[in-house]
Amino acid sequence: MTTEAKTQPKEFNKFQAFLWPIHNYELKKFLPMSFLMFFILLVYTLVRDLKDIFVNYRTHMWIDHDTGLPSTETSQLIPALKLWYVLPCAFLAVMAFTFLMNKFGSKKTFYIIISFFMIFYAIFGFILYPNLEVLEMSSEAITSMVDAVPALSGFIACFANWPVALFYIFSEIWGTMAIASLFWQFANATTMKTEVKRFFGLFSLIGNIGVVIAGELVQRFIKDKSLPVPVITGFMVGVIICGLTTMGIYYYINAKILTDPRFFDPTQIKKKKKKEKVSVTEGIKLLFSNTYLLLIAVLVLGYGVAINFAEIVLKDQMKEAFDAAGYAHMQGNVSKFTGIFTIFVTLFGAIILRKCKWRTTAVITPLIFLILGGAFFMLVMYKKYVSPEIIGISSLTLAVWFGVIQDALTKSVKYSLFDTTKSMAYIPLDEDTKTKGQAAVEVIGGRAGKAGASAIQQVMFAFQRGIMNHLITVVVLFIATVVAWIFSVFKLSGKYEKAVAEQHEEELA
């Protein structure tokens, strides 16, 4: 009898095994780990929603020479922030994380990184935000700089609004650093083989309740575009409390739980293979010499480009449709829907993975993009080129709601199905190709997907400001990207099935 069979008593009926395969004694470990993820995601969702609200309503812009008023084209700040500021800072963050891990080890690194972020949010809430008007450049100063170099208007406006830009950068990096690098690394290092299949999915279920709560908080407390200092300071206090709670839970798990042999046995931990570092040049050579890996990279690239194009237009339409309170309300809806959808998709995603072929599961994400994203863009174009109403209903309102649902559902499916099928695609590869190939896809596909769409938008804005002035181009690029993504899924599916069959035959032999 296997170890796993011994540790899973027969009291699990089919219903329990599907919904709650956790023994009562295991709650001592499972609940703290789940709440660790809960508080990390709560902070992530709060700061993610606030950063977009700040960009749209708390930034100084250049003066429009036709109207004599500050420009309302804040939609081009987000691509500029992602391309010129977030991307290089993300590289620095990865380098800093690696240095800290090598020098201090995983435990001290956890405390250092969480503390660093909480210190920044304290400085922002108590010093930077209350003094934004003093610290940021005036619209007149921004105008003179933009007039001198109009092609860099987005870069200049972000630099001029540096406190908000800093908040945006820190909030973007928090998601990657705290969720991927800290939580999941800790979970992988402490969850035993007999627990992995039962615990990991339920971590996400409970953790995403934090996403829903964060969305509700944003909706309740953001009432107008003035974004009062006490409200934002209160949010930052809440973020800091969550950060301190996270460190407290982490300490408790290490001190009280992992010292219990029932919950931590080093021999029962699946050892994580060391990722091989691949430079950009090496990655390009590897991808273009291996069609299989190139197709996986297209999947990653497709998601990055498509989500970027869809979100930039959605946020522009949300700002047009609502005031600051309405924008915050819809931003909260995105977070709440994402959390709720993720809970349901996580529950039923395992069934889809078991019952359906790889191709069927992998194509779900781009199909949702194509159907809901297509409906969203059609409504936006209808509003712009045909009529502001459809059968007596505002086409703008319909477009925003389609965009919100598409954004939330696509993200939830991405977390549950897209990431899983992408990981499955590496399984039939030989060990060397698998290790180097995964690193190459992350280097090329991941980075290019995040920065590619932003770079394209920056080129567009260099000719004419405003994302709506390039709507047709955006729609064409969006459709082309998703179609290429779907084509790659079908192309990769044949290679994947063949490779799995060959691997199976070798194992039998």
Pick the more confident residue, 191 or 167. Answer: 167
DSSP structure class, residue 371: I
Band of pLDDT at residue 184, cut at 50, 70 and 90:
confident
Contacts made by residues 217-223, CB under 8 angstroms, sequence distance 24+: 217/46, 217/332, 218/46, 218/49, 218/50, 218/53, 218/328, 218/331, 218/332, 218/335, 219/328, 219/329, 219/332, 219/333, 219/336, 222/53, 222/324, 222/325, 222/328, 222/329, 223/325
Band of pLDDT at residue 269, cut at 50, 70 and 90:
low
CATH number 3.90.79.10 given to 279-509: no
Amino acid 273: pLDDT: 56
Which pLDDT tens digit goes with each residue over 470-499? Answer: 999 999 999 999 999 999 999 999 999 888
**Tokens standing for 20?**
């709650």
How wide is the angle at C-alpha 191 spanned by C-alphas 188 and 197, nearest 5°? 95
Please determine, for residue 201, whether its predicted confidence score (pLDDT) is greater than 80: no
Amino acid 278: pLDDT: 61
Amino acid 479: pLDDT: 96
Please determine, for residue 6, whether its predicted confidence score (pLDDT) is greater than 50: no
Band of pLDDT at residue 509, cut at 50, 70 and 90:
low
Amino acid 272: pLDDT: 55
- Domain-by-domain residue ranges, the chain? 27-272, 279-509
Alpha helix stretches (DSSP H) within 356-430? 358-362, 364-368, 374-385, 395-413, 419-425
Pick the more confident residue, 2 or 14. Answer: 14
Please determine, for residue 98, whether its predicted confidence score (pLDDT) is greater than 90: no
Amino acid 90: pLDDT: 86
Give the residue from 245, 246, 238, 180 showing the smallest Cα distance to 49: 238
What residues are paired with 394 via a beta bridge?
Answer: 389
Which pLDDT tens digit goes with each residue over 58-70? Answer: 999 999 887 888 8
Q: What is the Cα–Cα distance from 48 to 171, expressed in whole angstroms?
A: 6
What residues are paired with 63 via a beta bridge?
Answer: 70
DSSP structure class, residue 268: G
Single-letter amino acid, residue 435: T
Please determine, for residue 445, whether its predicted confidence score (pLDDT) is greater than 80: no
**Tokens standing for 145?**
């700089």
Which pLDDT tens digit goes with each residue over 115-167? Answer: 999 999 999 999 999 999 999 999 999 999 999 998 888 999 999 999 999 99
CATH number for region 27-272: 1.20.1250.20
